[in-house]
Amino acid sequence: MNIIPRKYEQEIPYEVFGKSVLNEEKVQFTGTDFWWSDEEMKEVILMLVFSIGLQRLIQILPDQSREELVSILLLGPET
């Protein structure tokens, strides 16, 4: 899968969605975790952000999350 989220929404190619965990009806939730591998979780998150765009993601995030995201982007993930 080579999905790269951009500023604005993009259409997910059907063949990408067709091969995704979302199409396989593998979504299970235990109350704290989804039963997906790390790779499957990454794929789902990238597809969702790809479909709404980075700008919309930023608009959706609560203020505190946006502030933390800015800090991570400026200072790195280890701060």
Domain boundaries, the chain: 14-75
pLDDT, mean of residues 52-72: 96
- Confidence band, pLDDT 50/70/90 cuts, at residue 2: confident
Predicted local distance difference test score (pLDDT) of residue 61? 96
Q: What percent of the chain has pLDDT over 90?
A: 47
pLDDT, mean of residues 30-50: 80
Predicted local distance difference test score (pLDDT) of residue 33? 67
CA distances from 67 to 42, 46, 61 (A): 22, 21, 10
pLDDT reading at 27 higher than 70: no
DSSP for 22-72, please give it. Answer: TTTT---B-SS-BS--HHHHHHHHHHHHHHH-HHHHHHHS-HHHHHHHHHH
pLDDT reading at 71 higher than 80: yes
The whole-angstrom separation of Cα 16 and Cα 1 is 7
pLDDT reading at 35 higher than 80: no
The whole-angstrom separation of Cα 29 and Cα 31 is 6
